[in-house]
C-alpha cells in the first residue's frame, strides 16, 4: 500500500495546465501514444477523472488535455494491476486463499484531489479518527520499517548478491552473473 500510494502521487495533480502545456509543446506524452485512437491534439476530447463531491468520490469527464496526468496515472494503475493478477494466479495455483489487491487511487495521497481527505484502501472517505485507528493495518509501522532494515544488509563481494535480493537467473546481455558490471576503483 505504501509504495503504490506514494508512486501514484508522482503523477501529480489530476488536472494540470502545466502538464497540458508540456504535452502541447511535445515535452510530455502518453503511454503508448501511437496506440491511442484519438486526434492526439486533445482539444475536444474528455477523460474521466476521480474527484470529490462533498464526502463522496465521483467520476466526472474533464478536458483530456488537462487530464494528462490522470491518464498516465491510470496507465500505471493498470500496469500494477496486471502484475498483481500474475501474482494472484501463482498464489491460487499453489492452493492459497489469499489475494493481493491495490488500494483505491485516493488512498494515502499527498498530492491532488485526495490530498486533503483520508480515504480507506477500499475507497471510502473516512474521518481522521477512523484513519488513525486503522493506519497501522494499512501502512508500514515503525516496527515494520525497523524489521526490514535488519534484512537489508549490503553485499559488496564480487559474484555475491545481498540476501534480500533474489539472484538473477542469468546475467545482462549474456554476460555471466559475476561479470564486472560495476567497478569500484
Mean pLDDT of 33-62: 95
User: Cell 480515504 maps to which residue?
Assistant: 119
Percent of the chain whose pLDDT exceeds 70: 100
Mean pLDDT of 3-26: 97
Q: In this structure, how many other beta carbons lie within 10 angstroms of the beta carbon of residue 126?
A: 16
Counted residue by residue, the chain has a size of 185
pLDDT 10s digits, 72-117? 999 999 999 999 999 999 999 999 999 999 999 999 999 999 999 9
pLDDT band at 158 (very low <50, low <70, confident <90, very high): confident
- pLDDT value for 145: 96
Mean pLDDT of 60-79: 98
Amino acid at each position: 500500500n505504501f509504495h503504490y500510494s506514494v508512486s501514484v502521487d508522482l503523477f501529480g495533480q489530476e488536472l494540470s495546465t502545466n502538464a497540458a502545456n508540456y504535452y502541447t509543446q511535445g515535452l510530455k506524452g502518453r503511454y503508448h501514444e501511437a496506440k491511442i485512437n484519438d486526434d492526439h491534439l486533445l482539444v475536444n476530447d474528455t477523460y474521466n477523472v476521480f474527484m470529490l463531491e462533498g464526502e463522496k468520490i465521483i467520476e466526472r469527464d474533464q478536458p483530456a488535455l488537462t487530464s494528462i496526468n490522470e491518464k498516465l496515472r491510470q496507465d500505471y494503475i493498470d500496469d500494477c494491476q496486471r502484475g498483481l493478477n500474475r501474482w494472484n494466479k501463482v498464489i491460487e495455483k499453489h492452493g492459497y486463499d489469499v489475494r493481493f489487491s491495490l488500494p483505491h487511487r485516493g488512498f494515502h495521497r499527498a498530492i491532488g484531489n485526495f490530498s486533503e481527505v483520508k480515504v480507506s484502501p477500499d475507497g471510502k472517505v473516512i474521518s481522521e479518527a477512523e484513519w488513525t485507528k486503522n493506519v497501522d493495518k494499512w501502512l508500514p509501522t515503525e516496527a515494520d520499517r525497523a524489521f526490514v532494515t535488519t534484512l537489508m544488509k549490503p553485499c559488496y563481494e564480487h559474484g555475491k548478491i545481498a540476501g534480500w535480493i533474489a539472484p538473477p537467473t542469468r546475467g545482462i546481455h549474456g554476460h555471466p552473473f559475476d561479470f564486472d558490471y560495476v567497478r569500484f576503483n
